[in-house]
Every structure is written in structure tokens, then in C-alpha cells.
Amino acid sequence: MSNSSISLFEDEEIVEIVVMALLSPICLVLSVAASMVVKRNRLIADLVKFYVLVDLLNYSLNGVFYLFWATPTAVWKLNDSLPFLDRLFSTLPYIGFYIGISAKTFLGLNRCFAIAFDSRFSAKFESTRWFQYLTVALLTCIVIVVSWAIPGCQPTFVPYPTNVVWFVEGECRVITDRIFELMNYIFCPIYIVLDVTAFWLMRRHFRRNRSNSANSDLKRRQLGMEYRLAAMMLVNMLTSIALWIENLGPQYLLTANSGFIFYTGLYLIDCIFNNFAYLMLLHQGNNVTRVLPQARAPFTTTLESE
């Protein structure tokens, strides 16, 4: 290998380490801040708030992994010398991925049921909340059991030249790879369809009520919050498309660092973008104090001024 090749190799490795070191703390801080904002927001129904917080937990777990394990491992190659910690930290992104799948799916369904058909089926959907909670918990337990109990199925962080988290080589890896790809190909389009549908329904609902001059200031403020939620749906749609591109990209761009670009770099950017949107759009104003469920106000309810 020539000196120029060695220099290029080292430069690429440094760039990837710097990208993870810069983006991962931003992702984690925004995830925690957005979670605090959402938790304090009383304009959001409890079931919707639960799925938003689970989605933010997904990004928080990835932020913890890339900040406290992936970046140090890329520098000092810790995955071979500390295999227990490697398995422990490398499990976090996969837990986040699968709970994110369930949270995004149920959240999209909740949005659609809450707006469509004049909210006739919203109460029936919410009556299944314990089944939904159980599904999220069950997926989490399955990922933990597979990662720790089945030999050869444990995830690991692979340092340069890939700098991605993946499964160790072995027979189990083939199965887990196929399951992972299948989940991506099925659920990413579902996210997009649900978010587009919910955004379109909410936009129509907003336009229909905004033109009514008889609306009180209370109702106009409620519509304003619904508009923010509609904007959040649009953000979720865009990040779902980005996630789909992340999953398809490395198959067609077979460069040495394509895996890092799509599975690590682009994902951290997606994390930052999504968390920032949650933080900005779901911030509750100081002039709103209470929200109570209503059948025909899918996300917000009667607003009471201080």
C-alpha cells in the first residue's frame, strides 16, 4: 500500500470519528430535551404522548450508544478487548429500532383513527391501549433475548473501515439480516402511508375550521396546536422516507464508507432533525394549562387560559 493510500485511509477514519463525536451528543441532548418538553405538554393525549416518548427513547438509546461506545471503540478498538460491554451497548440500537417500529406504527394509526370518520373509531382504538403497550414491551423483550440467549446472534460494533453496528458473522446473522431487511421493507412504507394520510386529513380539518369566523379565540388557539401536530406528521413522513433511503442506499453504493454514510452518519442526522422538530413543534405555550379528551378534537381538547 502506498503512502498516499495510508494517508487517505487515516483521513477517512478521522472524519468518521469526528462525525460520530460531534453528532451523537447533539442527538442525545435533543432527545432528552424533547422528551422533557413532550412530557410537560398537557395538550397531547396520554396515548399519543406515550408513543412520542417511546419514539424519542429510540433516538436516546442510539445517542447513548454512539456517544459512549461507538466513538471510543472507533478510536481504541474496544470491541475485541471488552466483548461484554460491546454486546451490552450494541444491543441498544436494535432495541431502539424495534420499539421505534411499534411506536411509529401505532402512533400513525392513532392519528388516522382520531381524524378520519369524525373520530367514530377513535375510542375503540384507544380501548386497545394495553394490547399496544404489551406489543411494545414484547418486542423489547424479544430483542434482548435474541441478542443475549441465542449464540451467534449478538450485535457488535464494527470499527473502521465500516464503523457500523451489525451482527457477528455466523449462521444466525443470515437470519437476523433477513428479518431486519423485511421489517424495513414492510414498515417504512407503512409509516409513509400513515403519515401522509394523517397529514392530509389534518390539513383538511384545519382548513375547514380555520375559515369559520365564528370560532372563538379558544378554538383558534386549539386549531393552532392542531396545525403544529400536522407539521409534526409531515416531519415524520420525511424522516420515514430518509429511513427508507438509509436502508436501501448501501446496497447500491458499494463504496468503502457507504455503510457508515447511510447506517451511521445519515441516521444521526435524521435523529437530530426529528428530535429538533419534536422540541420546537410540541412545545406548550405558557397561556395553556389543561387539555381534556374530546371525541371530535383528535389531538387537542378544550383549551383553558390561565
Name the residue ranges covered by the structural domains of the chain: 15-281
**Cα distance between residue 145 and residue 219, in whole Å:** 49
What's domain 15-281's superfamily in CATH? Answer: Rhodopsin 7-helix transmembrane proteins (1.20.1070.10)
Average pLDDT of span 141-165: 81
Q: What pLDDT sits at residue 36?
A: 94
Q: How confident is the model at residue 253 (pLDDT cuts 50, 70, 90)?
A: low
Do residues 116 and 252 touch, judged by C-beta distance below 8 A?
A: no
Find the DSSP H helices in the chain: 3-40, 46-65, 71-76, 78-81, 83-115, 122-126, 129-149, 171-210, 217-252, 258-259, 266-281
**Cα distance between residue 209 and residue 219, in whole Å:** 9
Q: What pLDDT sits at residue 118?
A: 62
Q: How confident is the model at residue 178 (pLDDT cuts 50, 70, 90)?
A: confident
Greater confidence (229 vs 155) lies with 155
What cell numbers appear for 260 in the block?
457508515
Given a cut of 90, whether residue 61 has pLDDT beyond it is yes
122-126 — which CB contacts under 8 Å span 24+ positions? 122/295, 122/298, 123/295, 126/47
Neighbour count for residue 138 (Cβ, 10 Å) = 12
pLDDT tens figures, 105-150:
888 888 777 776 666 767 778 888 899 899 889 988 888 887 787 7
Average pLDDT, the chain: 77
Q: What is the DSSP letter of 117?
A: G
Residue type, 3: N
Sign of CA dihedral 99, 282, 226, 230: negative
Q: What pLDDT sits at residue 294?
A: 40
Q: Which of 149, 162, 159 is nearest to 262 (CA)?
A: 162
| pTM of the predicted model as reported, rounded to 2 decimal places | 0.83
Average pLDDT of span 200-220: 67
Q: Which of 244, 132, 141, 138 is nearest to 183 (CA)?
A: 244
Q: Which of 238, 233, 180 is nearest to 206 (CA)?
A: 233
Cell 386497545 belongs to which residue? 128
Cell 435524521 belongs to which residue? 270
Q: What pLDDT sits at residue 86?
A: 93
Map residue 42 onto helix, strand or coil.
coil
The strand pairing partners of 156, in sequence order, are 166
Estimate the crossing angle of helix 83-115 against helix 46-65, to 10 degrees: 150
Cell 454512539 belongs to which residue? 66
Cell 433477513 belongs to which residue? 178
**Cα distance between residue 275 and residue 288, in whole Å:** 23
Do residues 119 and 295 touch, judged by C-beta distance below 8 A?
A: yes
Average pLDDT of span 157-179: 76
**Cα distance between residue 103 and residue 123, in whole Å:** 18
Calculate what percentage of the chain has a pLDDT beyond 90. Answer: 21
Given a cut of 50, whether residue 88 has pLDDT beyond it is yes
- What does residue 215 show for φ and ψ, rounded to 5 degrees? -65, 140
Q: What pLDDT sits at residue 250?
A: 54
